[in-house]
Amino acid sequence: MSATLVKHAKPTLATCALTGCFGCHMSLLDIDERILELVDLVDLDVSPFDDKKAFDRPVDVGFIEGGCSNEYNVRELREFRKHCRILVSVGACAINGGVPAMRNTISLRDCLDAVYLHGVSLQGDGVIPNDEDLPLLLDRVYPSHEVVKIDYFLPGCPPSGDALWEGLKALLIGNKPDLPYLLCKYE
């Protein structure tokens, strides 16, 4: 039997935290005792929760938290697109850049200058970090769907635990995640 035909016992879920605050991941933990049900429903694959770093098999559902503010985010997002059958933008940052996108109306140079050269808390002359280990910043923060194809969106800042739960359940049985009025919030 070839490796691609191996059936997983349960559907798989991968999550990643790009440029965001990790609030959407915290919200996924905010489903209270249903987290036991979650363990029964899905196998966690690549995710900050289990610290698995790289894909080694196809995954059913990928949750993207955060927008793309640097080249590392773009690479990780593309990896997710490559390995996830269904890719979902979760939360305001993945959907429109969120709070990090406040810098989108200011040039990157002006941002770096303001923080590292003219910041009020600087002592002496500042320097703009330029280590080769630091991912290069993009000119602005991009929503996920401007980088790869996104299949569904779960809005909110963060989406409530209930919204994530309902959305995930719908996806796992092959439905579109249509959130009811009280769960679909942009804020």
Partner 1 sequence: MVAESFSFTIDGIVVQARPGQSVLQACDEAGIYIPRLCHHPDLAPSGACRVCTCRINGRNSAACVTPAAPGMVIENDTPLLTADRRAVIEMLFVEGNHPCPYCVASGDCELQALGYRLGMVAPVQPYQWPGRPIDATHPDIALDHDRCILCARCIEASRMQDGKSVFGFAGRGIAMRLNVDAAGGLGDTQMAAIDKAASVCPVACIVIKRGSYRIPNGERRFDKAPIGSDIEARRARPTP
Please, what is the minimum distance in Å from the beta carbon of residue 170 to partner 1?
13
Rounded CA separation 25/40 (Å): 19
Rounded CA separation 158/26 (Å): 9
Please give the structure tokens belonging to residue 127.
């320097």
Amino acid (one-letter) located at 101: A
What is the DSSP secondary-structure string of 149-163? Answer: ---EEE-SSSPPHHH
Identity of the residue, 43 or 151, whose beta carbon is nearer to partner 1 in the bound complex: 151
Residue 105's CB: how many other CB atoms inside 10 A? 7
Residues at the interface with partner 1 (CB under 8 A): 89, 92, 95-99, 101-102, 104-106, 140, 143, 145-146, 152-155, 157, 179, 181-182, 184-187
Q: Are 95 and 143 in contact (CB under 8 A)?
A: yes
Contacts of 16 (CB under 8 A, 6+ apart): 46, 47, 48, 62, 63, 64, 65, 66, 76, 77, 80
Please give the structure tokens belonging to residue 155.
């809005």
